[in-house]
């Protein structure tokens, strides 16, 4: 057995005026956000706010403070940098212009009810207030104030029968057992693994913030929601410095308001990356099935998602759902058609599919058969959780970007560390030994190049300003769409745009 190590360079991202770098907190103050080549004007981003009356002034003051310099008092100044103000970071100014205060009496009355009634009462209270802001010339994003009782609210799914609930509980136990077969995971690793496999838990429970987003994204004139909690706008309860909170919230608000903070640099402009995932769903007929979702990303257009076919519960192999050749071909065809529509007739010259389990032969035939009838090149890449660990001498963890190859007599496996020691921070941002993804391909390809692309796609995380993530956007977006689909009707199409799911 041979072990080979390759350290892939950290992919660059691109901000305004073509400024390149590894992290947003350096390139944004220098060049501004992506696309701001000539425009140095400070634009105003109008925000909506739905909040409790006692929180209104606190939230408005906090948003206003983000337009000015905020210093950082955390220990690692290379990772936690001062926030220069929204004007310098985003060429924008955040302004709360539209406010709806929740009725405090109705809010307290709903909190006192039993869990299902509390859920429904608060759901109606919040959704009506939010919908009233979906108006012409309204806000570009709505801040939604969540006290802790609301932020952590979830209930058993009342739409399930007793038999359906028992079936899902057995499936969740199987999911957990499979996870433990790979390795004995930490809590952090359990959370990460849930992003890579369908979870019965998503259908067993209704989560309040997920249900609220699903409801509101189907409304006319809807705009994205940004949940805001006391730990963001109350300094005494904050878990991060003012600067870090401003960087993270500012990045999310800027993107959700219809802008691109940064783009990965170096990815081919005519390549489309697609993530495929599966999720539990209850059909109107009462059947428990898997739903397939495809997400597409390209530097030429905003990320979009599509719903694929539902799959019978028994259509699994090695305890994982898969697509038939017909289903795979149909999903691939929809992606190509949607891509062509969004680019006004252009087709990608290459399409790369990411999947969180190995490809079955039917999937290979379906994807390649359909895609190669439209475009010259199609590659099928798998990204799977693993129990593999790599230790280095000394006290530092493996570098982010480490690609480890294990060559055995009859097999060769490759492991990509998307988390690990970050050289430019001089820090490993995690509590445990980093766990890699096993990266493979259903066809002959240069795995090192595919790993570089995956690493670049982990930098499309516009929910904070760190500029890195554990999984590529192809996987995380498809997962978020699938989870939200548990709240939608069988015939309802999920909103295709990424900004509604963050």
Tell me, what's the pLDDT at 380? 97
pLDDT digits (tens, 9 = 90+) for 324-347: 999 999 999 999 999 999 988 899
Q: Could you give the C-alpha distances from 439 to 179, 381, 418, 443, in angstroms and in order?
A: 17, 7, 11, 12
Residue 194: pLDDT band with limits 50, 70, 90:
low
pLDDT band at 193 (very low <50, low <70, confident <90, very high): low
Q: What are the distances in angstroms from CA 35 to CA 15, 300, 491?
A: 7, 12, 37
Q: Which of the pair, 84 or 429, is modelled with greater confidence?
A: 84
* Model confidence band, residue 353 (pLDDT cutoffs 50, 70, 90): very high
Closest CA to 256 of 456, 94, 31, 38: 94
Distance from C-alpha of 265 to C-alpha of 457, rounded to nearest angstrom: 10
The Cβ of residue 369 has, within 10 Å, a number of other Cβ atoms equal to 15
Nearest to 438 by CA among 430, 429, 446, 447: 447
Amino acid 493: pLDDT: 81
- What's the pLDDT at 37? 55
Which of 53-57, 72-76, 141-145, 223-227 has the weakest average pLDDT?
A: 72-76
| pLDDT for the residue numbered 188 | 59
Higher pLDDT, 275 or 179: 275
213: Cβ contacts below 8 Å, ≥ 6 apart = 225, 484, 500, 501
- Give the tens place of pLDDT for each residue, 466-481: 989 889 999 988 888 8
Burial pattern 137-152, b for ≥16 Cβ within 10 A else e, equals: eebbbbbbbbbeebee
Helix axis angle, 104-111 to 115-131, nearest 10°: 150
Average pLDDT over residues 376-390: 89
Instruction: Report CA torsion sign: 239, 216, 338, 17.
Output: negative
Give me the DSSP letters along 315-349. Answer: -EETTEE---HHHHHHHHHHHHHHHHHHTTT---S
pLDDT higher than 90, residue 432:
no
pLDDT digits (tens, 9 = 90+) for 149-168: 999 999 988 888 888 788 77
Please, are residues 84 and 93 in contact by the beta-carbon 8 Å criterion?
no
Nearest to 481 by CA among 463, 464, 502, 457: 502
Residue 85 has pLDDT above 70, yes or no: yes
CB atoms within 10 A of CB 497: 16
Residues in the chain: 502
What pLDDT does residue 178 have?
A: 56
Q: How confident is the model at residue 187 (pLDDT cuts 50, 70, 90)?
A: low
429 confidence band (pLDDT: 50, 70, 90): confident
Confidence bin at 189 (pLDDT 50/70/90): low
The per-residue pLDDT for 291 is 81
Q: Is the confidence at residue 192, as pLDDT, over 90? A: no
Share of the chain above pLDDT 70, in %: 93
Instruction: Write out the two tokens for 237.
Output: 């309860």
Residue 167 backbone phi and psi in degrees, to 5: -65, -45
**Alpha helical stretches, state H, 325-414:** 325-342, 361-371
CATH class of 1-502: alpha beta
Residue 191: pLDDT band by 50, 70, 90 thresholds? low
For residue 62, the Cα-to-chain-centroid distance in whole angstroms is 26
Rounded to 10°, the helix 325-342/361-371 angle is 30
For residue 323, the model assigns a pLDDT of 94
């Amino acid at each position: 057995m041979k072990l080979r190590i390759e350290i892939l360079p950290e992919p660059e991202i691109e901000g305004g005026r073509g400024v390149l770098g590894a992290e947003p907190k350096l390139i944004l103050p220098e060049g501004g956000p992506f696309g701001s080549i000539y425009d140095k004007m400070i634009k105003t981003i109008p925000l909506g706010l739905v909040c409790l009356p006692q929180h209104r002034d606190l939230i408005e003051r906090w948003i206003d403070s983000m337009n000015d310099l905020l210093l950082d008092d955390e220990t690692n100044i290379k990772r936690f940098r001062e926030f220069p103000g929204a004007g310098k970071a985003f060429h924008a100014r955040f302004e709360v212009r539209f406010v709806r205060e929740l009725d405090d009496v109705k809010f307290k009355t709903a909190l006192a009810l039993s869990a299902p009634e509390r859920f429904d009462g608060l759901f109606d209270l919040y959704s009506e207030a939010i919908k009233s802001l979906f108006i012409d010339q309204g806000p570009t994003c709505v801040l939604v104030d969540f006290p802790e009782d609301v932020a952590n609210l979830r209930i058993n799914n009342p739409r399930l029968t007793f038999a359906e609930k028992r079936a899902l509980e057995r499936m969740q136990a199987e999911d957990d057992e499979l996870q433990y077969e790979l390795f004995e995971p930490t809590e952090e690793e359990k959370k990460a693994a849930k992003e890579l496999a369908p979870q019965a838990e998503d259908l067993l429970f209704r989560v309040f913030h997920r249900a609220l987003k699903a409801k509101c994204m189907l409304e006319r004139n809807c705009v994205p929601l940004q949940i805001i909690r006391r730990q963001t706008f109350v300094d005494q309860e904050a878990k991060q410095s003012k600067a870090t909170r401003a960087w993270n919230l500012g990045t999310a608000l800027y993107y959700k308001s219809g802008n691109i903070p940064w783009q990965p640099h170096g990815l081919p402009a005519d390549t489309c990356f697609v993530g495929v995932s599966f999720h539990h769903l209850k059909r109107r007929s009462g059947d428990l099935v898997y739903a397939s979702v495809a997400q597409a990303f390209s530097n030429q257009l905003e990320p979009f998602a599509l719903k694929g076919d539902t799959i019978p519960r028994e259509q699994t192999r090695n305890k994982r759902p898969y697509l038939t050749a017909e289903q795979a071909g149909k999903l691939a065809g929809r992606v190509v058609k949607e891509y062509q529509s969004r680019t006004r007739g252009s087709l990608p010259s290459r399409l790369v599919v990411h999947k969180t389990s190995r490809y079955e032969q039917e999937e290979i035939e379906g994807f390649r058969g359909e895609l190669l009838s439209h475009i010259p090149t199609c590659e099928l890449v798998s990204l799977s959780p693993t129990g593999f660990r790599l230790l280095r001498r000394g006290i530092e963890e493996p570098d982010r970007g480490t690609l480890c190859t294990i060559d055995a007599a009859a097999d060769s496996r490759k492991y990509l560390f998307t988390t690990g020691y970050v050289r430019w921070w001089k820090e490993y941002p995690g509590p445990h030994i980093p766990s890699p993804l096993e990266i493979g391909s259903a066809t002959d390809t240069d795995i090192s190049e595919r790993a570089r692309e995956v690493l670049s796609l982990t930098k499309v995380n516009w929910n904070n300003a760190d500029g890195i993530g554990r999984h590529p956007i192809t996987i995380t977006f498809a997962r978020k769409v699938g989870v939200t689909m548990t709240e939608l009707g069988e015939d309802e199409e999920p909103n295709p745009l990424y900004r509604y799911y963050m």
